Structure 1
Amino acid sequence: MEYPLLLEPITLAGRTVRNRVVHASMSTRYTQNQDIDPRLVRYHANRAAGGTGLIVTEPLNVLPWHDRSHRPALFQPNTLDALSRWADSVESKGCRLLGQFQDSGRGHREAGRSHQAWAPSALPDDLSWTMPREMPAHRIHEAIEHFGKGARRLEEAGFSGVELSAGHGHLFHQFLSPAANIRDDEYGGDVEGRTRLLRELIEVITSSCKNNFIIGLKLPGTDGIPGGIDHPESARITARLAETGGFHYLVYCDGSHSHTLETHIPDMSYPRAPYVEEHAEIAANAPGVPLMALGLITDPAEAEGILAAGKAQMVALGRPLVTDAAWVKKSAEGRQSEIRYCVSCNTCWATIVERKPILCDNNPRLSQPDEVDYWPQPARRKRRVVVVGAGPAGLETGWVAAARGHDVTVFAASERPGGKAYLHAQLPGGENVSSVYDYQEMAAGKAGATVHLGIRAGVDDVLACEPDVVVLAGGATMLWPNGWPEEWRDFVFDIREVSREMLERPDETIDGTAVLWDQDHTLATYSAAELLAERFARLVIVTPRERLASDVGLVTRQGIYRRLYGMSNVEVVLLSDIHTHSALDEGRVSCRNVLNGSLRDIDDLAMLTWSGSRAPNDEMAAPLRAEGLDVVTVGDCDMPRTLLAATTDGHALGRSL
């Protein structure tokens, strides 16, 4: 067995958990009108079937004032039956299911502000500036009582336990934090007072449920708020809670509803498993209580190493189990190379915050009945399929079509698969993007597709294959910025061309200023910007919008800001475009404010580049159709969009052939 510690059972509250892999709580937005949606049940059932040992649900509506329509309610009419079906769908497959209890309090990460928020003190939320009402003592007691009833209801429905989420800047976290809790009654003040709500809640649940009902506790590691919870304070909180006990495992999370929100769900720019060491040190203040490691752990070998080092007793995965429901099954069978690995791009998080059901860049089968260890069903009729382009859209189409039994030939102009995604993977913070096309390349080989690398296929190459269907997946090319002088084309190149050139000369640094005109606002552009900042003495980013990164999710945007504004040689010029009368030959770019027309010069210019709108590379479509062929465009070659669109559309096309 390659991962003996990861696959070893563990006992919590007298219940056996079959392995050490835990699905950390992830919101899905499948729920509507507080009902337990079949998609939500299927999502968790799929992960149970894929071998996960324990699953923690998304937050549940428990309290009388909990009315968020996207969260499953515990006390709606007929809910007990639905809860029982949910629990059975997971527990019957050998996996433990825990419900998560929390209240957002003043915390609000969606657009606008919450107008029905309670908090320990009437202090505004650090992110949304929501102004809450202070919870009176009788409301605290009411909440504790109802959470106790909620735990009893979960137990009655067949759940194995509950996790109390006291991190992420939510209500329990707010009570623990000296920055958010300035009460002068028994629920405020020192650690004794600030932990009282949690201690009383654990006591009520313990007295309401049987001895084998698992109680997990998620606590803040550090929230990054001045005067809030840092590691020493978290250690003190842990020690006080451990004195009373009553809980069966600990897990920590960083960040809060503030500029540190991104730290709770670290992306590709972070080091691997960034919190393991510090969280282990904090958890030492609760000796004997199993600890779950959490945060940017994606690989089974990585998880095994954490357990082997004694830094944790379990490993909590959120996004990696969104990406591959069979992560554990494949690991146990020695098929880790067949895992669809998490990109850590946080598309999943962004979609739910946009109030849409969860989506994943690298899992087009998310929550489908056949999701677990998916392999396509054979087609009724075998066809010859030629795919021109080996980026994510083309490779996804190709492997799925080949797996269905079609004779598939893929042409890639580059010597490596991945298309533009390969370029992004070479840029700062982009390494995990390779997880998408690495899986696709593996699957294409397994399915028997023929992939020709380094061949820029033309019409004759395609016709020579005598195809029944041609799929054009050659991506898109950045358009020359509107109004820029034609004579600039000889020495001004787009950010992709510039990035390739700089990656070929890894040791080169350049005196002078690089100017990046940004009309793109997606993650890859800022990965390239970091490369420019590393190589040039100065980088100025100019955009006609009022902020950078407006086309990415909040936590991704926060990370981009943290990195760029943390570089002393980076400057940002907002609400401006590049004046077409700039004296580039004199080493000067002029920026024109789009609102008032004022000009600003940037001197010492070494390079001007841009990132902007793209046009599909679909020039082969017309001549191939003129030959009578069935031609389909996919990915950026159809409509330039996102990595999510490329894998989703490519998968759907492959299944349709």
Structure 2
Amino acid sequence: MLEHALRPGTLGDLRLANRIVMGAMHLNLETRDDGGAAMAAFYAERARGGAGLIVTGGCAVGPEGSGGRHYARIDDPARHTALAAWAAAVRREGGRIALQLFHAGRSTTRQATGHTPVAPSALAGGLSREVPRALDEAGVHELVGRFHDGARRARELGFDAVEVMASEGYLLNQFLSPLTNIRDDAWGGDPERRTRFPLAVLDAVRAAVGPGFPVLFRISGTDLMPGSSTPGEIDRFAVELARAGADALNVGVGWHESRVPTVQSLVPPGAWTGEAARIRRAVRAAGLRTPVIASNRINRMDLADRVLASGQADFVSMARPFLADPEIVRKASRPGGAPTNICIACNEACIDRSLGDEPVSCLVNPRAGRELEYPRPTGRQRPRQPRIAVVGGGPAGLEAGRTLAALGHRVELYEAADELGGQFRLARHVPGKEDFGDTVRYFSAELHRLGARVHLNRPLNTADTDLLRGFDGVVLATGVVPRAAGLPGEHLPHVVDYQHALRHPGLLGQRVVVIGGGGIAVDLAHLLARRGHEVCLLRRSGRVGEGMGRSTRWAVLAELRERGVRWRTGVRYRAVLPQGVLLRDAEGTERLEPADTVVISAGQTPVDALRPVLAAVGVTHRVAGGAADARRLNAVRAVEEGMRAAHALAREVAADAGLRRGAAVLPTRQPPPPGRTAGPASSAIG
């Protein structure tokens, strides 16, 4: 029953319903010109879903402190209406919300903010590469004042608490680290003086909001930067914060410029809870009861409960899991009810997008951040539920079927294989991607719960015209098959495609050459390297792993290097021979790359033979995922297209039904509305 996670807790004078905090996430929706409506809807849904406390994404205290163009700013009166709307929306749902006070320091650029970055010292950031302006004495005091004013304004706007960002390599963390603070004055020069700025910020914030109003501090349990603050220095700083009146210490890990993975799927769930446990021990040893919050890579409620039960932390912060399933807490409190959609730590639609300007969402829940565009169904049943077929049970088909069933349609899903999941069934074999299997289980359970009928081992083809004609609408999500490389010798016995290799890695020889260097090829190399194979990736042009997420590619490639995987780019293939692959390398030298097995991972081809059939019989339909367009296909696009196709088809089927009802009282039958069938791939998903 998760008694520890669901037990009420207190921060300052604020009583919380449970011990689960929704951690701060920047969504690139914060500055939309909608009066805060999109963000309010996003937060309100998570409050309804049971989050004990919601922490907003970073809200900058000054213009030069923004992390990018779409960060909220507490110092900008033009944003106050929107910020107040966020707080009001959460409180209407009975939730509690904290505004995170943020300053990027050197972790931003003039291009992003229009202002020269500032920092403790004039040292360029590892990611921004821009030299900041070192703050002088007046500048330091001005920033302390901005945190004071931001906290006061947050309380006035209706927020229940504030969190000060002093982690992840942002400004306050920069003052703490000898890597970024090389001053020799009142604000730097030794560990004690390096803590003065964040402690001054805490004093100012406390003075602004008064006693009892919760002030959380997000601190770094470990910077994961060689030469940065030591564990002892961090522990002493945590104790000083607790003594100075912080109501909770939220423990993060790692700087964004660190080369140690922290939130990628490669990192085992719960890997960083020891940092929170260490800080909690230091605080308790000092005789202080300040709550400590554990965070990073905790993606399941039962794991959160175990962390709390073990005494490693007093609260648990979960961020991306609330993107995957806004009801993760409420579902946990109702065992046997609706299944939980698990965060798979892919980072593709969340962290990777937050590093640019694209709105953040979630691979396994593309409604995230689009709550206004795609409201939750009301649950009211239509007098006659339209009957919809979904052809294909891969990522696009699963989301299309789930969405249509949730909208009240009678859904029948046809899958050619003996199991749902499509390429997710392959991905779950890759190290770190085991949770893809839970995604398949979630969708399978949801389809069952919502009353959809699933037909396995049932491929549909051109002979099924009469069956398809019997539906009110069809979503075609038949996916892709591996594309042939077109090389001499490609059909030799030791040559297989990537699907076969991922399904049957034990049948491959010791030396494996992979023709192709995209994301699937990298995943395969990762799997095989873990199994002890000697792997070489070959690519004609571009970077190995091109198309993979910005926050994941470097980490996976680093592991491949460590495990001895080799790759060659700029090659020209000559032929596949019994001994391996004959090629011309980037220097123009002809060579044989020896192999016991050659794997073709050179792209994909749509499975779309039913498209002309559906158009010919006049069935209203939409096409989603790889069946619509295999170019640059990834799971984020496939799942999102499945959702969009479902909503577009539902609207069109409803319009058709209305037209038919109207025809009963008209002297002649009206022609069908235009666009009943899918057009080109670019418009096929609605």
TM-score, normalisation: structure 1: 0.90
Q: How many Å separate the matches in 1 of 2:532 and 2:7?
A: 51
Change (3 A) 1:122 1:77: closer
How far apart are residue 591 of structure 1 and its match?
Answer: 4.2
Q: Which of 566, 574, 578 is 1:571 aligned to? A: 566
Q: Does residue 539 of the first structure (1) align with residue 535 of the second (2)? A: yes
Amino acid at match of 1:428: P
How far apart are residue 64 of structure 1 and its match?
Answer: 5.3
How far apart are residue 604 of structure 1 and its match?
Answer: 3.4
- In structure 1, stretches of 5+ residues that fail to align are none
Q: How many Å separate the matches in 2 of 1:44 and 1:628?
A: 42
Give the aligned partner of residue 399 of structure 1: 402
Give the aligned partner of residue 170 of structure 1: 170
Q: Does residue 5 of the first structure (1) align with residue 1 of the second (2)? A: no
Contact 1:31/1:70 (<8 A) preserved: yes
How far apart are residue 217 of structure 1 and its match?
Answer: 1.0
Give the aligned partner of residue 363 of structure 1: 365
Over the aligned positions, Cα root-mean-square deviation in angstroms equals 2.7
Q: How many Å separate the matches in 1 of 2:111 and 2:415?
A: 42
Contact 2:541/2:571 (<8 A) preserved: no
Q: Which of 471, 474, 499 is 2:475 aligned to? A: 471
Contact 2:402/2:447 (<8 A) preserved: yes
Amino acid at match of 1:472: L
Q: How many Å separate the matches in 1 of 2:573 and 2:625?
A: 33
Moved more, 103-112 or 42-51: 103-112
Q: Does residue 422 of the first structure (1) align with residue 417 of the second (2)? A: no
Give the aligned partner of residue 246 of structure 1: 245
Q: How many Å separate the matches in 2 of 1:404 and 1:257?
A: 40
Q: How many Å separate the matches in 2 of 1:267 and 1:140?
A: 35
How far apart are residue 16 of structure 1 and its match?
Answer: 0.9
How far apart are residue 602 of structure 1 and its match?
Answer: 4.8
Q: Does residue 117 of the first structure (1) align with residue 117 of the second (2)? A: yes
Q: How many Å separate the matches in 2 of 1:509 and 1:110?
A: 52
Change (3 A) 1:484 1:498: same
Q: Deviations over 1:4-57 (max 9, x none)?
A: 221222111122122111110000111237986321122112211222111111
Give the aligned partner of residue 330 of structure 2: 329
Q: Which of 578, 591, 595 is 1:585 aligned to? A: 578
Give the aligned partner of residue 292 of structure 1: 293
Q: Does residue 388 of the first structure (1) align with residue 401 of the second (2)? A: no
Q: How many Å separate the matches in 2 of 1:414 and 1:358?
A: 33
Q: How many Å separate the matches in 1 of 2:258 and 2:266?
A: 16
| 1:120-519 matches, cutoff 5 A | 120-242=120-242, 244-260=243-259, 262-263=261-262, 266-287=263-284, 288-335=289-336, 337-347=338-348, 348-367=350-369, 368-369=371-372, 378=381, 381-461=384-464, 463-464=466-467, 466-481=470-485, 484-485=487-488, 487-488=490-491, 491-502=494-505, 505=506, 510-511=509-510, 513-519=511-517
How far apart are residue 445 of structure 1 and its match?
Answer: 1.0
Change (3 A) 1:509 1:231: farther
How far apart are residue 623 of structure 1 and its match?
Answer: 3.8
Change (3 A) 1:359 1:380: farther
Find the residue that maps to 1:296 and give its secondary structure: coil
Q: Does residue 634 of the first structure (1) align with residue 637 of the second (2)? A: no
How far apart are residue 384 of structure 1 and its match?
Answer: 3.1
Q: Deviations over 1:381-413 (max 9, x none)?
A: 533332221112112222332344433322212
How far apart are residue 232 of structure 1 and its match?
Answer: 3.6
Q: Deviations over 1:273-326 (max 9, x none)?
A: 111123201232122111111111121111111111111111101001112222
Change (3 A) 1:230 1:549: farther
Count residues with an aligned counterpart: 639
Find the residue that maps to 1:516 and give its secondary structure: strand
Change (3 A) 1:544 1:461: same
Q: How many Å separate the matches in 2 of 1:122 and 1:110?
A: 14
Q: How many Å separate the matches in 1 of 2:254 and 2:524?
A: 26
Contact 1:9/1:18 (<8 A) preserved: yes
Q: How many Å separate the matches in 2 of 1:376 and 1:428?
A: 39
Moved more, 70-79 or 316-325: 70-79
Q: How many Å separate the matches in 2 of 1:602 and 1:319?
A: 46
Amino acid at match of 1:228: S
Contact 2:151/2:162 (<8 A) preserved: yes
Q: Deviations over 1:419-461 (max 9, x none)?
A: 1111111222211123433222112112222112123333334
- In structure 2, stretches of 5+ residues that fail to align are 651-686
Change (3 A) 1:239 1:10: same
List, as ranges, runs of 4+ consecutive aligned residues in structure 1 with deviation greater than 6 Å. Answer: 109-115, 370-373
Contact 1:459/1:624 (<8 A) preserved: no
Find the residue that maps to 1:219 and give its secondary structure: strand
TM-score, normalisation: structure 2: 0.87
